[in-house]
Amino acid sequence: MIMGTFMIMTPHRNGLEAVGRDADQGDAEAGVVGSRGGLTQATGATRSDRRLGQVLRDPSEAVAHVAPSSKFQHLLFTWLSPGFPVGAFAYSHGLEMAAERGLLKSQAALAEWISALITQGSLRNDLLLVAHAYRAAAAGQLPELASTNALALALQPSAERYLETTQQGGSFLIAVTAAWPQDDFNALRAGLVGEVAYPIAVAMAAAAHAIPLAALLDAYGFAFVSNLTSAAIRLGVVGQTAAQVTIAAVTPLLHTAALIATGGTLGDIGSATFSADLCSMEHETQYSRLFRS
């Protein structure tokens, strides 16, 4: 019920007014009395009820009423949410071994660790890869897209990090293909043979669905950091409030990294986060662990 109502409510001013007028007129026709907070229906269904039923039967009708900006926001919220079935919750990106080694004893230490990944490490590279793959996908340059994917796979510093990006990339492609079928996306997917790195998969889908690159890079970065702070909570490194403090602290760095990636090239790729890379390697033999990386 919530989903149906949400999809009917369009951000277009005229659309909202039209729905409101239909609802009011329909209520009058059906003999509805009472306040908005407690309506009672004397007879029949309101016009808004009938429209809701139509939308629930044909979701594409609801999508047609959503503004273009809202469409890409809905996709980003969904694709990069913790609930999207890519298995992100199973990976700590080496954070578990860092906690085991006593490298993350405070919120400040966690923020410093994540900041390094943003400015000098894997997230910096991921954003550059996303931007380049996005442009290649948007231009239909399949050889360049395949080359960028090969680079993304080769950049993984350990077997578990390789698993992290390929498993999430594959799961992302499966979910998007099933729920948001689109010809351009299918053509891009068919042009890639073998495993696909997660940033490349996200970039392909975003380009095919015309999601603005700037919005994509911002959302990707925040999703990355949110997943790491979630792992830190489960490892007992920080509590929930401290995790939010960490996200707030690194937010300016995320915006800057997204801007750099927008104007960057593959020649800018490089990292210097040796502790994070070594922890991801050592995690492969960690005796007791919660995460797959």
- How far apart, in Å, are the Cα atoms of 192 and each of 85, 129, 135, 163, 197? 21, 16, 16, 18, 11
Q: Which two tokens stand for residue 290?
A: 């919660």
Q: pTM score > 0.75 for this model? A: yes
pLDDT tens string 53-99? 454 455 444 444 445 567 789 999 999 999 999 999 999 999 999 99
**DSSP output for 238-291:** S-HHHHHHHHHHHHHHHHHHHHHHHH--GGG-----HHHHHHHHHGGG-SS-SS
Cβ neighbours of residue 93 closer than 8 Å, sequence gap 6 or more? 117, 122, 161, 164, 227, 228, 231, 276, 280, 293
Q: For residue 179, is pLDDT > 70?
A: yes
pLDDT at 68: 55
